[in-house]
Amino acid sequence: MDAVIKLSSPATREFWEAPVLFEDEHLLVLSKPSGLLTSPDRQDPARPSLMGLLYDVIAQGKPWAVRRGLGYLRNAHRLDFEASGVLLLARSKPVLVHLANLFGAGKHGRTYLALVRGAPALDSFEVDAPLSPNPLRPGLVRIDRRHGKKSLTRFEVAERFDGYALLRCHPLIDRPHQVRAHLVSARFPVVGDALYRGAPLLLSRLKPDYRLKLGRTERPLIGSAALHAERVEVAHPVTGQPLTLTAEWPKDLSVAVKYLRRYAPLHPGPATAEPGVPLGGPENGADSSPASGDPEDL
């Protein structure tokens, strides 16, 4: 079977690759690329989405879909447009219902990686803050302690840099934009997350002797929000056996961490760890400047 599913949108001239992480007669698990909607946008149905592109491929009878015998296919949960990583797709209605109940009840282990600006004082912390849609900024959410839905996220520092940190994030019940909204409320915006005050990561800010060629414009090391669904742990919807599904880091996140290790270490020295493996025990760093504005106005 194909290890990578290739999708394209002729209308927008865009192309994506979605690695296959797991599959059987009940499930298809993909690593969703960043910059692609999970499901069609009701307000803009022409905008490309993973599920829309998959439906088109199945309808067209593409060879890889025929080989898999794909017919019914629905996403059991969602990932933000900007986020990459593990996405479970159900191949039958009963499997979809079972998985949706597990995710809705928080009976799963979901781990996101987030590269953030700032230095958490503690190696682990949590944000327990209800969320609701932001009436002033459609498509975004905000802290709403009166009318919001219960939302809790636990965070662990995986690695520290000078002015930045790599966090593992565990949302107990995963609301849309939950990790991003909780992080900015804690004054640790996700790098590159323009919707939630996350400034881009520029090599010129890290490398002391950086020189940009004449006539060139510097591109950020990460082009969108540095948020990756790294792992999902869930019971198989039919067999009940535990499944641990992991997605490799996207290339831009790996590159960003490589440069942070080289140019923004807390203790200067050679960096030898591979991406995703901390260089050692977390070290305390100086507190970052807080994000401007009231988090509840996001």
Residue 88 burial (C-beta neighbours within 10 Å; 0-12, 13-18, 19+): buried
- pTM (2 d.p.): 0.85
Vertex 275: Cα angle to 203 and 201 (nearest 5): 20
* Dihedral, 32, 34, 38, 41 alpha carbons, nearest 10: -160
For domain 108-274, the question of CATH label 3.30.2350.10 is answered with yes
What residues contact 114, with CB distance under 8 A and at least 6 apart? Answer: 166, 167, 169, 179, 180, 183, 190, 226, 227, 228
| Domain range list for the chain | 1-105, 108-274
Q: C-alpha angle 51/53/59, rounded to 5°?
A: 100
Query: Could you tell me where the DSSP H helices lie in the chain?
Result: 50-60, 63-68, 93-104, 178-185, 251-263
Instruction: Please say whether the dihedral angle defined by the alpha carbons of residues 79, 81, 83 and 89, taken in this order, is positive or negative.
Output: positive
Question: Which pLDDT score, from 0 to 100, does residue 186 have?
Answer: 96
How many Å apart are CA 130 and CA 145, to the nearest integer?
A: 6
Give the pLDDT score at 65: 87
Q: Which CATH architecture has domain 1-105?
A: 2-Layer Sandwich (3.30)
- pLDDT per residue rounded down to tens, the chain (298 residues): 679 999 999 889 999 999 999 999 999 999 999 999 999 888 888 899 999 999 998 998 888 888 888 889 999 998 999 999 999 999 999 999 999 888 877 667 899 999 999 999 999 999 999 999 999 999 899 999 999 999 999 999 999 999 999 999 999 888 899 999 999 999 999 999 999 999 999 999 999 999 888 888 999 999 899 999 999 999 999 999 999 999 999 999 999 999 999 999 986 544 333 333 333 333 333 333 333 334 454 5
Sequence-ordered list of residues with C-beta below 8 angstroms from that of 197, at least 6 positions apart, any chain: 184, 189, 291, 292, 293, 298
Structure tokens at 45: 């149905």
Q: Which two tokens stand for residue 279?
A: 């260089």
